[in-house]
Amino acid sequence: AAAAAVRGAKQSLRAELKQRLQAMSAEERLRQSRLLTQKVIAHSQYQKSRRISIFLSMQDEIETEEIIKDIFQQGKTCFIPQYQFQSNHMEMVKLASPEEISLLPKTSWNIHQPAEGEVREEALSTGGLDLIFMPGLGFDKHGNRLGRGKGYYDSYLKRCLQQQEVKPYTMALAFKEQICHQVPVDEHDMKVDEVLYEDPSTS
């Protein structure tokens, strides 16, 4: 019964968050994205990380394009998600350059990603990841994350814990509209180490 209650709570919160995100103007999304880009570039965890996984943004997510450019400018190695749509399996595959993104085919979610058959260097097979930028629909201040319900990131993080000695640092990038009082979670949900967002009390 408890599991069903959590599922129901997640579904209604997802619907509410999607409405909140749809109500945001393009200007406001861009303004917060720029602010978070500056926060990321100044962040000590980002500065010391060499191998970084980052998502390519959907329309209702923080825009990651400028962070990706900075990853390459700093000479770090960049990995992006390659989702397998018939399962909840995801790999993090190496990106050659920021310019390459627009050449990649688009998925049904309208995100660029390497074609399913294309073989690329996978992060876990070549030394793991130092930092993973986490997408999601909602977050609370305790690091609880509400994903889109497929479990891609939760299962990937579990593989990281099995295959690399030091756990990657996980950082969520969120609009302040995505910050919730409390996100409902079950035992499969992995917490994030830090949620970055525009917090008026700390700026």
Domain that holds residue 95: 2-196
Residue 201 forms part of a structural domain: no
153 is in an annotated binding site: yes
Residue 132 forms part of a structural domain: yes
Residue 161 forms part of a structural domain: yes
197 is in an annotated binding site: no
152 is in an annotated binding site: yes
Query: What phi and psi, each to the nearest 5 degrees, are found at residue 3?
Result: -60, -40
150 is in an annotated binding site: yes
Q: At what angle do helices 26-42 and 65-73 cross, to 10 degrees?
A: 30
46 is in an annotated binding site: no
Q: How many domains does the chain have?
A: 1
11 is in an annotated binding site: yes
Residue 203 forms part of a structural domain: no
Could you tell me the CATH number of the domain that includes residue 184? 3.40.50.10420
Q: pLDDT tens digits, the chain, 203 residues: what are they?
A: 788 999 999 999 999 999 999 999 999 999 999 999 999 999 999 999 999 999 999 989 999 999 999 999 999 999 999 998 888 889 999 999 999 999 999 988 888 999 888 889 999 999 999 999 999 999 999 999 999 988 999 999 999 999 999 999 999 999 999 999 999 998 888 999 999 999 877 65
49 is in an annotated binding site: no
pTM: 0.95
**How far is C-alpha 178 from the chain's CA centre?**
13
* Percentages of the chain per state (helix, strand, coil), in multiples of 5: 40, 15, 45
151 is in an annotated binding site: yes
